[in-house]
Amino acid sequence: MEEAGDPGGLSPDQVERCMSAMQAGTQMVKLRGGSKGLVRFYFLDEHRSCIRWRPSRKNEKAKISIDSIQEVSEGRQSEIFQRYPDGSFDPNCCFSIYHGSQRQSLDLVSPSGDEARTWVTGLRYLMAGISDEDSLARRQRTRDQWLKQTFDEADKNGDGSLSISEVLQLLHKLNVNLPRQRVKQMFKEADTDDHQGTLGFEEFCAFYKMMSTRRDLYLLMLTYSSHKGPLDASALQRFLEVEQKMTGVTLERCQSIIEQFEPCPENRSKVMLGIDGFTNYARSPAGDIFNPQHHDVHQDMTQPLTHYFITSSHNTYLVGDQLMSQSRADMYAWVLQAGCRCVEVDCWDGPDGEPIVHHGYTLTSKILFKDVIETINKYAFIKNEYPVILSIENHCSVVQQKKMAQYLTGILGDKLDLSSVSSEDATVLPSPQMLKGKILVKGKKLPATISDDAEAGEVSDEDSADEIDEDCKLLNGDASTNRKHVENIAKRKLDSLIKESKIRDCEDPSDFTVSTLGRPGHKAEGRTAEEDTESGEDAGASRRSNRVLVGSFSKRKKKSSKLKKAASVEEADEDLDLQGSQARGATRQRKTMQLSRALSDLVKYTRSVGSHDVDTEVACSWQVSSFSETRAQQILQQKPAQYLRFNQHQLSRIYPSSYRVDSSNYNPQPFWNAGCQLVALNYQTEGRMLQLNRAKFSANGNCGYVLKPPCMCHGIFNPNSEDPLPGQFKKQLVLRIISGQQLPKPRDSMLGDRGEIIDPFVEVEVIGLPVDCRKEQTRVVDDNGFNPMWEETLVFTVHMPEIALVRFLVWDHDPIGRDFIGQRTLAFSSMMPGYRHVYLEGMEEASIFVHVAISDISGKVKQALGLKGLFLRGPKPGSLDSHAAGRPLPRPSVSQRLLRRTASAPTKSQKPSRKAFPELILGTQDAGSEGEAHDVAPPSPGPTPQALAWEEPGGRSPRSPRVRN
């Protein structure tokens, strides 16, 4: 057997032996961090696509996909293994599998070292094969695996075939609502072997293909083939040029596409692309809405750091809340590999002279500073070489600061050496390109007035205060007399918070006032009545629970006129949030701290300074000012143009309010609008805000740096203005939401797959400057999550597309609310024009099919109500827009209209409550009130399939609700 670290050197026989051993399975012990492990039987599935185990209460869901594995490490390296004393296990028998978006670890102990090496080698071999795949091969493999998995799960009796009853149950699970007679007919056509009455896997694939033939794509294909059927090379060329806006498309290229995607040998021999081939091409990465060039770094990386947005993490070491959760070094590995380029390290004096990392004055666990730096050194540049900023929050004594400096220089070595960076102009920062492979230490620096011989000196600590508020922290950093009392309060209240709100970000996306968790005695400002509920959270409960939590700590706080010792660089701004001493009831005193020369000398371009007055001229660009979200929001409201100019000359870092003890996240977009570079988020809390962050930085190869638009780097404007850039062209985005494919039931559905078939609708949101923020929705399609048709057009005007994000959400309509199904968010600049699929994030096959058209418009946008009716066309024979083509719609009764208005799903009869569409078409009228607007569509450069239609079963008028039993 080859070394486990070299899977590429295996011979075919060795690979096969390794795979066979893994498929046969091994009984291993899974460690959980407690005293007792779990004995489980682990094996590689027959498709070599996932690891499974038994016994498990999860049954078929007990698996880890090979796709999701990030790393396989040998020995006792993980944080879980470190909890067990040395000698507990033979290191040769130990290995860890890191998987999932949050880098969870599966820590296993095998019976022997040979079996452990077999698993490590085999998994690394499979991972290497996946990483070498191109995106087309990966998508095809994923689809094949999904079909096989779907077949296996539907085969209830395990006989390797599906009966008609099993197929009907499967269709319900897949949200397919077809007449039983139609299903039986397709079943009979697919059942071609000797075993009549059941479908084998190949027959099931044929059945599924019949069932999933795309009518929307078929009509589109007919449009460009002049109704002759398959597309020849010239027709395909015309489609790509006219609709997809591709340039330089040759006939040879079109012939290559046909050869690659057409499955039918007869069509391939004639160089024709049939419906199956056209579907394959449309669902391939070539038909994705995301610009494939943006998977790689494509922006200019030679400008000063101040000209970039830089993805940043807050309290990187924490895996959960800010009061009681675990601190883990491998969080740095996960965050850095996710593209983050600024990580935070809170350093405190530890036992035995070893500095430690944890959240001060709380019950969070402690980890060694040395382990954190070793992890950062290992993972900083695995995914990209652009510089990492190490934000040091220093609370250590001079002795342990020297130890920190020793670890930094000894472990990071040349990564800290900036002598090769030829940038000595203090008014300009170096570029990401110049700093490739370097780690910048952000921290305090000794002033030039202190003697060079001094090993330490006094520096101002005015920009520091406790990051955890006085209300919430323990009185001491050690085990004090009140520790148990505080621990019980914290556990009780955090448990309540988790149960009531699921601890997710709750901002209303259309509201640009940051709403922090309520402070005692102060109203939470900037909230609207409608809260974002994409994750099903109760926003009101979240706010109430947070106030209760903070209030419970306030009760034990004794009145005092003295401020306690500083705990974090960032908290100066917390003192300033509500004009400083007035909020605290105390007069701030000048604070200082002792700083080691050795640690100070490691800081060059990123010196931590107090939050400057944004009106003053910035003399030196080699510094970073930190602002709490509330302080930054005050500045953004009062001096937006000055804040923008301030961020042109130096870096600024925004961090969450100390009252976000649940590690929730604020909305980062307002701070990006002001040009703030380092907008730090809690990476451990998945949700809307982290999805916006991912979308933002996906636009430049996920390298952690996104170039600001030129108007943010030079000049000045008010980002909060209704016309921020007068005289400049704006973008008009015309989105036609055509159809959906294989939309699943909501994840929190009470009955799971047995629940009723969904009634989906699509919501599209543009997020950017306040003037650009807008939401629009389609109608509801009844009882069809498999292939719903909407065919509705939504129009948006965007003043600054360079910083705008576009968010697609799919909801399941219910008369008393709506259930979240999935979302996909991407940068406006990353959208491709033409007919595109929008794949929902984290879902294998679920997508929506859209047409994207972007054009320039000029002049001041004139707002008017009711123009949506121009684009949501009424029933007309031969139109894709109506499920009731050719039938007049009766006026709904009063009771129907009242019932309909109780739902959160949209109706054509509703007038927009948000800003209206821009007035783009002359001579129009408000025809939306009755939902029977004339058929007026935005101009299209080429033919569209709107003249061809079918009657879609299962649809319903937006004004006719269906009451569920």
- Report, as residue numbers or ranges, the catalytic residues: 314, 358
Put the strands of the sheet holding 834-839 in their side by side order.
Answer: 789-798, 730-741, 847-857, 834-839
In the block, which residue shows the tokens 């997809």?
Answer: 244
Strands 805-814 and 817-827: antiparallel
Q: Structure tokens of 810?
A: 């799919």
> Do residues 867 and 917 touch, judged by C-beta distance below 8 A?
yes
| Rounded Cα–Cα distance for residues 956 and 965 (Å) | 17
Q: How far is CA 125 from CA 1, 154, 212, in A?
A: 13, 30, 34
- The residues facing 290 across adjacent strands are 831
Burial bucket for residue 182 (CB in 10 Å: 0-12, 13-18, 19+): exposed
> Do residues 299 and 706 touch, judged by C-beta distance below 8 A?
yes
Q: Structure tokens of 616?
A: 């003053």
Q: Structure tokens of 316?
A: 């990187």
- Any idea how long the chain is? 965
Strands 367-368 and 356-357: antiparallel
In the block, which residue shows the tokens 């990564």?
Answer: 415
Residue 386 CB neighbour total at 10 angstroms: 25
| Rounded Cα–Cα distance for residues 592 and 598 (Å) | 18
> Do residues 341 and 388 touch, judged by C-beta distance below 8 A?
yes
| Beta strand residue intervals within 314-470, DSSP E | 342-348, 356-357, 367-368, 388-394, 439-442, 456-460
Q: Is 902 helix (H, G, I), strand (E, B) or coil?
A: coil
Amino acid type, 697: F
Which residues have CB under 8 Å from 494's CB, separation 6+?
321, 323, 324, 549, 661, 662
Q: Where are the alpha helices (DSSP H) in 32-133?
A: 79-82, 113-132
H/E segment holding residue 457: strand 456-460
Q: Is 106 helix (H, G, I), strand (E, B) or coil?
A: strand
| Rounded Cα–Cα distance for residues 872 and 866 (Å) | 11
Q: Where are the alpha helices (DSSP H) in 287-388?
A: 330-337, 369-379
> Do residues 313 and 459 touch, judged by C-beta distance below 8 A?
no
Burial bucket for residue 586 (CB in 10 Å: 0-12, 13-18, 19+): middle
Closest by alpha carbon to 600, among 404, 761, 792, 433?
404
Cα R_g (the chain), whole angstroms:
30
| Rounded Cα–Cα distance for residues 406 and 408 (Å) | 5
| Sign of the alpha-carbon torsion through 690, 695, 696, 702 | positive
> Do residues 313 and 681 touch, judged by C-beta distance below 8 A?
yes
| Rounded Cα–Cα distance for residues 957 and 428 (Å) | 60
Q: How far is CA 703 from CA 295, 471, 688, in A?
A: 10, 39, 21
Q: Structure tokens of 271?
A: 């160089």
| Rounded Cα–Cα distance for residues 678 and 675 (Å) | 9
Q: What is the 3-state secondary structure (H, E, C) of 787-851?
A: CCEEEEEEEEEECCHHHCEEEEEEEEEECCEEEEEEEEEEEHHHECCEEEEEECCCCCCCEEEEE
| Rounded Cα–Cα distance for residues 566 and 465 (Å) | 4
Burial bucket for residue 140 (CB in 10 Å: 0-12, 13-18, 19+): middle
